Structure 1
C-alpha cells in the first residue's frame, strides 16, 4: 500500500483504507459526540456569504459529520442536504437540528462520496465540503467526485471546498499510502499540490484559492471557490 508521490494505490488497497477510515470515523463520532462543537467553521461562514450573493437557496454539504456547518447554513435560511458516510454523525446532526428548531430545513443522507451523488442533474444551487476532498480518496476518485459535483450543480452554481495542502506540517509525516495520502493518529489525509486544485477547476470558473490556517498545529489549508459557467 505504500509508495511515493505519483505511485497509485491499488484499488483493493484503496478500498481497504477507505473501510478502515469509515470505521475509525464511526468510532470517533461515537466516543466524542459533537466533537467539533456548535460554532460553524470559518469556511462555512464565508461560504454562506458567497452562496447568498449568488442567490442560492439549496446547499448540499458533503462530509457534514455531526453538522455544525450544516446547522449554521440552516439557521442562515438555506435548505440543506447533509451527507456523510457515518450514520452516527448524521444521527447527532438530526438530534441537533430538532433541538435548534431547523429540522424542517435539513435533510440527511448516508452517502460514500466514492459513489455517484444521489441527486438529479442541475438540481442544487451550491455545494460545500470542508476537508472532505482531502480524506482517504485517490486522485482519480477526487476528480470523479468533482465531476459529480458539477453534474448536480445548476448553471451559475457555486462549489466551496477546503483541503489541506502539501505545505502542511503533517505532509510526509506518519504512514504513507501513496498518492500523497499520509496517515497520523488513525486519520488518513490526501495532501493537495496546487496542480491538483487547478486540474479540478478545468471547465469551471476558478474564483479563488485562499490560503488559511486552522487549529493548534496549525493545519494549513486552501479554501477554493469555483463556479459552473452559465
Structure 2
C-alpha cells in the first residue's frame, strides 16, 4: 500500500482534544441543515423499512436531529463530550427524547451494543477521521456484528480526488493533517477493502462545502452468507 510512512500515533490521539476545543468554540460548526448524505440515507432507510439506526460520529447533531424528525429511532455515538452535550440539549429542546439516545464512546473500542441490534448504521465523514486502516477494519467488523441480516451501512469519506489530498503534514498511510484536522483520504480500493462481510450496493461521489470537499457516498449491505 502506498504512503507507508510510520503512523504518527501521538498526532492521531490528540485529535479528540482538538475536536473538543473546536466544538466548544464553534456552536453548530457544520450548520443546522442536514447533510446531503443524511437526506440520501433517510430516503434509502425509509424505502427499505429500516427503523432503528446507529449513527457514528454525530458531531453536534445536525443529521441526528434530521433522522429523528423523519421518524427513525436514533442511537448516536461520538468521542467528544462537547458534541454529545450539544446533541442532548437539542434533543430536549425539540422534544425528541423518545427518538434519540446519545452517548460518548471511542470508536476504536468495541461498540456497546448486542449482536444484530440495529437495522442500519449511518456516518458522515467519520471514516475519514484519524483512524488507521487497521482501526477501520475493526470498526467495520463491529458494524457488521451489530447489524441485523440485510442491514445497511451508509457512510461518507473524503476521497483522493479532494484538493486537500497530499497537502499538509503526512501522518502515515493516506492521512494528512490539514488545518489542524487529520483526514484519512479514501480510494475506491480502500472502500472495497473495508467492505469485508458486506456487499457493495453503491459507491457514488458528491461535493460539499466551499473547497469543495470531494466525497464518496458508500452503501453497504450486510452479507448474510
**TM class by smaller structure:** over 0.9
Task: Say whether 1:155 aligns with 2:149.
Answer: yes
Which blocks of at least 5 consecutive residues in structure 1 are unaligned?
none
- Give the SS at the match of 1:103: coil
Whole-Å Cα distance in 2 between the matches of residues 53 and 229 of structure 1?
19
Whole-Å Cα distance in 2 between the matches of residues 182 and 229 of structure 1?
32
Whole-Å Cα distance in 1 between the matches of residues 104 and 205 of structure 2?
30
Q: Which residue of 2 aligns with 1:91?
A: 85
Whole-Å Cα distance in 1 between the matches of residues 202 and 147 of structure 2?
18
Cα 1:203/1:8, change in 2 over 3 Å:
farther
Q: Which residue of 1 aligns with 2:187?
A: 193
Q: Which residue of 2 aligns with 1:59?
A: 53
Whole-Å Cα distance in 2 between the matches of residues 165 and 125 of structure 1?
27
Normalised to the residue count of structure 1, the TM-score between the two structures is: 0.94
Q: Which residue of 1 aligns with 2:112?
A: 118
Q: Deviations over 1:50-88 (max 9, x none)?
A: 111121111100000110001111000111111100010
Aligned-pair Cα RMSD in Å: 1.1
User: 2:68, 2:100 within 8 Å by CA — same for their partners in 1?
Assistant: yes
Whole-Å Cα distance in 2 between the matches of residues 43 and 138 of structure 1?
23
- Give the SS at the match of 1:104: coil
Counterpart selection for 1:223 from 210, 213, 217: 217
Counterpart selection for 1:142 from 125, 128, 136: 136
Q: What is the deviation of 1:8?
A: 4.6
Pairs within 5 Å for 1:25-104: 25-104=19-98
Normalised to the residue count of structure 2, the TM-score between the two structures is: 0.96
User: 2:153, 2:220 within 8 Å by CA — same for their partners in 1?
Assistant: yes
Whole-Å Cα distance in 2 between the matches of residues 58 and 208 of structure 1?
21
Counterpart selection for 1:18 from 2, 7, 12: 12
Q: Which residue of 2 aligns with 1:173?
A: 167
Q: What is the deviation of 1:132?
A: 0.3
Which blocks of at least 5 consecutive residues in structure 2 are unaligned?
none
